[in-house]
Structure 1
């Protein structure tokens, strides 16, 4: 029996009795849905025509890969999940799934997803998916997350790769356009998670996770949130500036970016309601990323229709 399993048994937590819903929860379905959505946008925005069956299979494989990363993350982080209020109910710390089961489940899904993507959509996309899983688990989860307040900054590369994988699955290559999509998510990640960390600092402190507010303090974190927001706003407009999105996308993305900067400024400047403003920024950041990719998706579909394919 592993140290992780014995730790939970010695704590008196009942082990076993997992349902299909528990294993689905291991996949981090909300995170998986975001990865799948941005990958789909990358696939549709890429040049060329892709076979619909291959496109569906590619998206399913990317979903499995994202779910595998979630399961492996939950396996490794079971000890800190157990002491954080927002994660203590997850399948492993609550005792519904044994750590070894989560590990095997995650590894199996990872292998299946990479092999399926490679055989049906190309090995470039499969290699990127394999690298994403490796980076998220080994580089971010096992190393950065517990060792540096820059964990989210560097580790954000894993969450930013799905649109690049989707692009590679459709086009068989990657280019400047897919890098811009990567950069949007990469720059979005720090202000998004640091806003969460501002009002969950106690949880992270109890778990020993060196999130920015716990290490550099709230004031420094709020300044860095604003700095990243100022970088993100123009990068969000870049698909129009570089010619692979229309002026409509440009206007909408500019408005969304201005809103992001506004909420980041409010979180910095309003001393009387800092936690409330941090929560508002966190909520808006989710809307921002979904909206900007949704508009790009609609724009790409419209451009394909106008071009007759």
Structure 2
């Protein structure tokens, strides 16, 4: 029983859920201008975990043929047989229905509608349509990962605002320089599975150059948030310093790519730096409203 439960949990990709929730709560605090209340915070995070778990499980169900080919994913439950395809499909659909109903009953209808949109964007938009057809899959498909900030904002306010859309832009532009280094590391895996991630079909220099461009747009969005949401000194300092640090990491990757040192790109350093960067920015967003000035 323990192994079976562990397999179902693995289908939901808990580490991805954790990253998504890291952006939700700070957004709620910003929308509320302080603590949004324990019940609303817990209800939104629980619903968000269900929704992300649903999307990730359905992603595993659809991509089980790819996961079988790629060394990085060969131990996933659907590949090992720990969970059958039918069990995974039912589990993913049930999680999705529960998530949408949960938001509609315990949060609000707007948040429920955005949750449905997020699931559809990831499962249909990214997994079914974009992933196997275009090298820009993670760019447009990554919009699903931006939805938690809209859901968190709407959970507090019952609607959306310019600040929420700016936060959407931050994560949208952050996604390529976050995911492409991982794709560079596992380029052979994606190539063997015929998934046209940009690092598979383009030169490392082109990928790194685009990462720098997306990084600039991402940092610009973090700075736009300052006047739009009335952010204070802590967020401003963090956005500037963390942005400069992460851009330096991206530029370093570009310089190594230009130097044509195969196997020495150290792309995973940029991948891990991207997670640290996003965490720092959203921690600053969460703390800033509590400061007196």
Q: Same fold (TM over 0.5)?
A: yes
User: How many residues end up aligned between the 2 structures?
Assistant: 289
| Aligned equivalent of 2:207 | 221
Indicate which of 45, 64, 67 corresponds to 1:59.
45
Name the CA distance, whole Å, in 2 between partners of 1:293 and 1:23.
29
Match of 1:129 among 106, 109, 115: 115
Superposed, 1:174-193 pairs within 5 Å as 174-193=160-179
1:294 is displaced (CA, Å) by 1.1
Partner of 2:284: 295
1:214-257: CA deviations, max 9, x gaps? 11222211111111112112212222232432122111111111
SS in 2 for 1:209: coil
Secondary structure of 1:242's aligned partner: helix
What is the aligned partner in structure 2 of residue 8 from structure 1?
A: none
Give 1:259 deviation, angstroms.
Answer: 1.1
Q: TM-score, normalised by structure 2?
A: 0.94
- Aligned counterpart in structure 2 of residue 39 of structure 1, from 13, 16, 24: 24
Please tell me the root mean square deviation across aligned C-alpha atoms, in Å.
1.8
Q: Which has the larger radius of gyration?
A: 1
Q: Is residue 113 of structure 1 aligned with residue 102 of structure 2? A: no
- 1:234·1:257 contact (CA, 8 Å) conserved in 2? no
- The equivalent of 2:7 in structure 1 is 22
Distance in 1 separating the partners of 2:73 and 2:137: 18
Shift of 1:60: 0.5
Deviation sequence 1:51-79 (CA, Å, 0-9, x none): 43233112101111011111111111111
Q: Within 1, Cα distance between the matches of 2:178 and 2:279? A: 13
Matches within 5 A, 1:106-255: 106-255=92-241
SS at match of 1:31: helix
Gaps of 5+ in 1: 1-15
**8 Å CA contact 1:246, 1:299 repeated in 2:** yes
Matched, 1:269 2:258: no
Residue 50 of structure 1 and its aligned partner are, at CA, apart by 4.2
- Which residue is equivalent to 1:10? none
Aligned twin of 1:12: none
Q: Aligned partners of 1:234 and 1:294: how far apart in 2? A: 18
Q: 1:67, 1:109 within 8 Å by CA — same for their partners in 2?
A: yes
If the length of structure 1 is used for normalisation, what is the TM-score?
0.89
Whether contact under 8 Å (1:17, 1:97) holds in the other structure is no
C-alpha displacement at 1:278, in angstroms? 1.6
CA distance in 1, matches of 2:261, 2:246: 18
Out of 53, 56, 59, the residue aligned to residue 70 of structure 1 is 56
